[in-house]
């Protein structure tokens, strides 16, 4: 059963470099979950709602969301996820360069679960991602149970 | 824009001079006309006098003739009735009267030499006639008078002579009278003409004056209207420009915000992959240097020195870039902050800044002096930031070897508060006076930490508060930064 319920990580990140760094650090933290990477909002939304393995139809997922996307704002994706009855329990981690307090506040108000500022200081960044790994292992079980 | 004011005014001045000149000419003409009328009037009076004079002369001549005729009548009476003494008395009386009249005539015609001569002649004739009358009288008394020769004797000839002579004189006087009447008429006509001219001039000048005044009033009205229009235009122009500025400023704020975010993204990669490189280098280093294996010197140097050095430079540069981006971000964020105007006692603000810097003040042995400071309606955080940056700068850039002196003073004038921060520090070279307010620009020796943001921030904030900041400084002597703010809050630049 647990292998069926493995959390899919959906990463919406337009910067390939950032995506690579995030993935590397997630792996370094010892997390081996599948990572689905999308570089634009449209294909990410399509996956979230329409893919048979996507969170709307199937198992639990975690969304890593960048706010600056070429085709839409990550805020819109966040709003869509949090207003959908099937998806609103899906944890969303906002990962972006903005450290504007107002922006952070807004994301939390909209239901974002964790907000991580991409720091230029790499050690902090890596640390944050590893923390995220820990967080993943914590949320995994209750989320899976709720889905069933 | 319509005609420039300078042009309009100079044209008016020329116009006014011309108008004044015309008016002066008009009034001078009126005065001249009045003077001429007076002169002509005098002439008319003189003419009238002369006409009267001539009439007097004529009357006098007539009276003389009457007296002469009476004498003749009396003489005839004597001839007819020599015993009657009454005729003698009448004749004597008439002669005396005629003589008196002649004397009067002499006085009257004194101005006319030919008439004077005529009167003298007349007197001569009359005298001889009077002699003849007296002779007739005597002859009659003696009874030796010959009646048959009476109508042919000398006396009759004399009286006839007198008659024709006087007639001639009268003719001459008549001629004079006609001439003088003519002159009088001419003078009267002239006088009427002059009066008419005078009236015409007065009316003309009056009309001209009224016209000029009316035109001037119309012009003034026009100018006033134009001025009002210009003023309105100016106001709307100012509003327009202000709106443009606000738009531009908002644009810049947004631009700064977006740019700083977008610049950060690649920086994360540079930093991240540099860290990855470093990690990789460590792995290689451990492998290469393990067991003291023989490796070429070049490889060892590359791993141990070249790679760490390069990575170090990349890191420090990236960090610096991050600091700069953060500074822009801070500025743009400060620009987007909503200002909350409140009454702020500058003295309190300065006091708390000085207290927060007390440690450094003591350390450098700087003397800080506070002067009179105003109370201003403004945004507390912004003015705090401005003054704190200025005072910190004063404390930071002291002249080495000279104990620092910082004076913060203020005043108010024309609805604005002036706050000055004066130091005796190292000063700023004149060519940098504008430059120091630019972002990332610094002046003098780069021996102090900093990014060149403080004064840019001060100026941006001052603008937002509707104020200005200026510097006057001499290198090596010290600097004075002057902040001027409106006493009553008025946002200089719209909140983005």
Question: Is A121 an interface residue toward B (CB < 8 Å)?
Answer: yes
Can you tell me the distance from the alpha carbon of B156 to that of B400, in angstroms, rounded to the nearest whole number?
148
CB A122 to CB B319 under 8 A? Answer: no
Of A98, A100, A121, the CB nearest to B271: A121
Indicate the residue of A97, A122, A126 with minimum beta-carbon distance to B264.
Answer: A97
Q: Give A104's contacts in chain B (Cβ within 8 Å).
A: none
Measured between CB atoms, does A104 come within 8 Å of chain B?
A: no
Which candidate, B310, B326, B439, places its Cα nearest to that of A121?
Answer: B326
pLDDT at residue B471, rounded to an integer: 93
Minimum CA–CA partner of B274 in chain A: A122
Q: Residue B269: its chain A contacts at CB < 8 A?
A: 15, 17-18, 21
Q: Among A17, A24, A121, select the one facing B269 at the smallest CB separation.
A: A17
The pLDDT assigned to B202 comes to 83
Mean pLDDT over B291-297 rounds to: 71
Q: How many CA atoms lie within 13 A of B5 on its CB side?
A: 6
Q: Among partner residues B264, B267, B272, which is closest to A21 by beta-carbon distance?
A: B272
pLDDT score of B345: 92
| Residues of chain B with C-beta less than 8 angstroms from the C-beta of A15 | 265-266, 268-269
Tell me if B333 and A98 make a contact (CB, 8 A cut-off): no
A35 has which bridge partners?
A9
pLDDT at B11: 53
Contact B275 A15 (CB under 8 A): no
- pLDDT value at B199 more than 60: yes
| Stretch A36-52: mean pLDDT | 88
Residue keyed to tokens 């009288």: B137
Among partner residues A24, A97, A119, which is closest to B265 by beta-carbon distance?
Answer: A97
Summarize pLDDT for B8-26 with one digit per residue, the tens: 444 566 667 777 787 788 7
**pLDDT band at residue B490 using 50, 70 and 90 as cut-offs:** confident
Contact B49/A at CB under 8 A: no
- Reading the block at residue B78, the tokens are 């004597």
Closest CA to A113 of A86, A141, A143: A143
Strands B468-474 and B478-486: antiparallel
- The three-state secondary structure class of A5 is coil
> Which residue out of B269, B280, B331 would a mutagenesis test of the A interface target, given it has the greatest number of A Cβ atoms within 10 Å?
B269
| pLDDT higher than threshold 80 for residue B475 | yes
CB atoms under 10 Å from CB of B317, counted, come to 11
* Residue with more model confidence, A141 or B370: B370
Residues of B in Cβ contact (< 8 Å) with A129: none
Closest residue in chain A to residue B316, using alpha carbons only: A121
Query: Which position has the higher pLDDT, B115 or A16?
Result: A16
**Candidate from A15, A24, A123 with C-beta closest to B269:** A15
Could you read off the pLDDT of B125-161 as tens digits, one per residue? Answer: 888 888 888 888 888 778 777 666 666 677 788 888 8
Higher pLDDT, A137 or B252: B252
What is the distance in angstroms between the Cα of B438 and the nearest Cα belonging to chain A? 25
Helix (H, G, I), strand (E, B) or coil at A88: coil
pLDDT at B4 over 60: no
B219 closest CA partner among B27, B13, B21, B24? B13
Q: Is a pLDDT exceeding 90 seen at residue B487?
A: no
Q: Is there a contact between A122 and B275 if contact means CB atoms under 8 Å apart?
A: yes
Instruction: Give the pLDDT confidence score for residue B147 in this predicted structure.
Output: 67
CA-nearest residue of chain A to B323?
A120
Q: Of all residues in chain B, what percent carry a pLDDT higher than 90?
A: 14
A58, A52 Cβ separation under 8 angstroms: yes
Q: What is the pLDDT of residue B5?
A: 43
Give whichever of B68-82, B107-121, B341-355 has the largest mean pLDDT. B341-355
Residue-wise pLDDT for A64-78, tens only, equals 898 888 888 888 899
Please say if the pLDDT value at position A57 is more than 80: no
Q: Does the beta carbon of A130 lie under 8 angstroms from any beta carbon of chain B?
A: no
Q: Record the pTM.
A: 0.51
**Under 8 Å between Cβ of B452 and B440:** yes
Whether residue A126 contacts residue A25, with contact meaning beta carbons closer than 8 Å, is answered with yes
Is a pLDDT exceeding 90 seen at residue B446? no
pLDDT tier, B331 (very low <50, low <70, confident <90, very high otherwise):
confident
Which of B75-108 are b and which e, b meaning 16 or more Cβ less than 10 Å from the residue's Cβ?
bebbbeebeeeebbebbbebbebbbebbebbbeb
Both tokens of residue B440? Answer: 């990332």
Q: Which residue of B has its CA nearest to A125?
A: B272
Q: Enter the DSSP assignment of B398.
A: P
Spell out which residues of chain B touch residue A13, defining contact as CB-CB under 8 Å: none
CB < 8 Å to A122, chain B: 271-272, 274-275
Instruction: Name the B residues in 270-289 with CB < 8 Å from any A CB.
Output: 271-276
The answer to whether residue A139 scores a pLDDT higher than 50 is yes
CA distance B350 to B459: 18
Highest mean pLDDT: which of A114-128, B287-301, B317-331?
Answer: B317-331
pLDDT value of position B10: 47
Q: Residue range B456-473: average pLDDT? A: 88
Range from B140-144, B208-212, B225-229 that averages highest in pLDDT: B225-229
Are residues A21 and B268, on separate chains, in Cβ contact within 8 Å?
A: yes
Mean per-residue pLDDT for B272-289? 86
Phi–psi pair at B288, nearest 5 degrees:
-70, -40
B305's tokens: 């020195």
pLDDT score of B191 more than 50: yes
User: Would an 8 Å CB–CB cutoff place B322 in contact with chain A?
Assistant: yes
Considering chain A, what percentage of its residues have pLDDT values greater than 70? Answer: 82
Whether the pLDDT of residue B168 is over 80: the answer is: yes
Q: Cβ contact (<8 Å) for A68 and B261?
A: yes
B254 touches chain A (CB under 8 A): no
Q: How large is the ipTM? A: 0.76
Residue A25 has pLDDT above 50, yes or no: yes
Contact B494, B381 (CB under 8 A): no
A69 interfacial to chain B (CB closer than 8 Å) = no
To the nearest whole Å, the CA of A19 is away from the closest chain B CA by 10
What is the predicted pLDDT for the residue at A137? 60
Report residue B31's pLDDT band, with 50, 70 and 90 as the boundaries: confident
């Amino acid at each position: 059963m647990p292998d069926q319920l493995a959390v899919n990580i959906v990463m919406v990140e337009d910067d390939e470099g950032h995506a690579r760094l995030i993935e590397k650090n997630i792996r370094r933290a010892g997390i081996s979950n599948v990572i689905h990477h999308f570089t634009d909002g449209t294909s990410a939304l399509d996956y979230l709602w329409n893919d048979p393995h996507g969170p709307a139809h199937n198992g639990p997922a975690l969304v890593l969301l960048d706010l600056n996307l070429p085709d839409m704002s990550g805020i819109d994706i966040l709003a869509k996820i949090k207003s959908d009855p099937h998806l609103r329990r899906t944890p969303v981690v906002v990962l972006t360069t903005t450290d504007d307090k107002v922006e952070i506040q807004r994301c939390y108000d909209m239901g974002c679960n964790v907000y991580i500022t991409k720091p230029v200081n790499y050690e902090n960044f890596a640390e944050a991602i590893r923390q995220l790994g820990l967080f993943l292992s914590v949320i995994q079980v209750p989320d899976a149970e709720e889905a069933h | 824009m319509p005609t420039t004011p300078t042009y309009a005014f100079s044209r008016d001045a020329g116009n006014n001079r011309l108008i004044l000149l015309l008016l002066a000419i008009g009034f001078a003409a009126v005065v001249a006309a009045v003077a001429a009328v007076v002169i002509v009037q005098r002439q008319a009076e003189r003419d009238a006098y002369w006409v009267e004079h001539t009439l007097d002369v004529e009357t006098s001549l007539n009276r003389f003739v009457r007296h002469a005729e009476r004498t003749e009548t009396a003489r005839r009476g004597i001839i007819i009735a020599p015993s009657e003494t009454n005729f003698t008395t009448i004749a004597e009386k008439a002669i005396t009267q005629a003589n008196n009249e002649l004397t009067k005539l002499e006085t009257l015609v004194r101005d006319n030499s030919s008439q004077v001569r005529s009167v003298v002649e007349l007197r001569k004739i009359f005298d001889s006639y009077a002699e003849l009358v007296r002779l007739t009288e005597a002859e009659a008394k003696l009874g030796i008078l010959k009646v048959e020769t009476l109508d042919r004797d000398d006396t009759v000839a004399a009286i006839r002579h007198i008659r024709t002579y006087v007639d001639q004189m009268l003719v001459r006087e008549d001629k004079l009278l006609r001439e003088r009447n003519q002159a009088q008429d001419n003078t009267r006509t002239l006088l009427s003409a002059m009066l008419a001219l005078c009236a015409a001039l007065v009316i003309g000048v009056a009309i001209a004056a009224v016209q000029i005044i009316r035109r001037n009033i119309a012009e003034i009205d026009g100018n006033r209207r134009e001025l009002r229009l210009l003023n309105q235009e100016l106001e709307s122009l100012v509003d327009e420009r202000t709106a443009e500025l606000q738009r531009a400023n908002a644009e810049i704020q947004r631009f700064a915000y977006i740019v700083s975010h977008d610049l950060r993204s690649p920086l994360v990669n540079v930093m991240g992959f540099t860290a990855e490189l470093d990690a990789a280098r460590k792995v290689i280093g451990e492998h290469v240097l393990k067991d003291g294996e023989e490796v070429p010197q070049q490889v060892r140097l590359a791993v141990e020195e070249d790679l760490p050095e390069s990575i170090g430079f990349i890191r420090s540069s990236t960090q610096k870039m991050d600091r700069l981006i953060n500074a822009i971000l801070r500025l743009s964020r400060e620009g987007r902050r909503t200002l909350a105007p409140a009454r702020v006692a500058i003295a309190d603000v300065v006091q708390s800044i000085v207290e927060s810097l007390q440690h450094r003040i003591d350390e450098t042995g700087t003397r800080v002096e506070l002067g009179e400071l105003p109370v201003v309606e403004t945004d507390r955080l912004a003015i705090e930031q401005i003054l704190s940056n200025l005072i910190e700068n004063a404390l930071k850039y002291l002249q080495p070897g000279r104990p620092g002196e910082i004076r913060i003073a203020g005043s108010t004038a024309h609805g604005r508060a002036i706050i000055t921060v004066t130091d005796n520090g190292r000063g700023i070279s004149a060519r940098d006076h504008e430059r120091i307010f630019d972002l990332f620009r610094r002046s003098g020796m780069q021996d102090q930490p900093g990014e060149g943001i403080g004064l840019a921030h001060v100026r941006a904030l001052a603008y937002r508060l509707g104020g200005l900041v200026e510097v006057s400084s001499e290198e090596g002597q010290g600097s004075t930064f002057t902040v001027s703010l409106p006493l009553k809050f008025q946002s200089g630049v719209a909140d983005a």
